[in-house]
Amino acid sequence: MRVGVYPGTFDPITLGHMDIIRRGAKLVDRLVIGVTTNITKSPMFDDDERIAMVKAEVASIEGDIRVTGFNSLLMDFAEREGATVIVRGLRAVADFEYEYQMAGMNQQLNDRIETVFLMADVGLQPIASRLVKEIAIFGGDIGKFVTPAVREAVVNRIAERGLLQGER
């Protein structure tokens, strides 16, 4: 069985993430979506909320897709999951430089696991979770970048925390 891991913070999950998940699921027998906390980021949603959000969003995608959290080195997580492939999405040249460096480091940690890069759909390339949150915090409509359920969760979280900025 070919197992792939698609890691990320998914804070929040975007249509770009969904595109990579749909396409990645076709490349492997099982796709494990590893939801992690990046200590260099300040997540809007906690781990359990992000895992639940991703599970809800991928429920209708065909294939053997599992969503789980992890808080370890990616290659250790991939090894535990029995993965032979890491799936990564690329949007732009800046992504490639970062991902190329990470793939090289990961190969040094475990050369039995390959990294596969998928180019984001051209219409989804500009989408980044960080920008989605920023647009929402300033009262912009994020409906073009996330599903209605995720949009609602982001808008509600901003209201709960009193994060809405700009003129009202």
Residue 65: CATH number of its domain: 3.40.50.620
Q: Provide the domain limits for residue 112.
A: 3-124
- Reference 68, options 94, 90, 95, 50; nearest CA is 50
Confidence of residue 167 (pLDDT cuts 50, 70, 90): low
Q: How far apart are CA 154 and CA 145, in angstroms?
A: 12
Q: Which of 50, 88, 91, 133 is catalytic?
A: 91
Considering the candidates 41, 130, 144, 161, report the single residue annotated as catalytic: 41
Q: Is 130 a catalytic residue?
A: no
Mean pLDDT over each residue of the chain, to the nearest integer = 94
Taking residues 21-38, report their average pLDDT. 96
91 is catalytic: yes
In a domain, residue 72? The reply is yes
* 13 is a domain residue: yes
User: Is 86 a domain residue?
Assistant: yes
pTM of the model: 0.93
Would you say the C-alpha torsion 70, 75, 80, 86 has a positive or negative sign?
A: positive
**CA-CA distance, 19 to 42, in Å (whole number)?**
24
Q: Is 23 a residue of the active site?
A: no
Active-site residue among 17, 50, 133, 151? 17
Q: Is 26 tagged catalytic?
A: no
**Position 64 pLDDT exceeds 90:** yes
Write out pLDDT tens, residues 79-136: 999 999 999 999 877 788 889 999 999 999 999 999 999 998 988 888 999 999 999 9
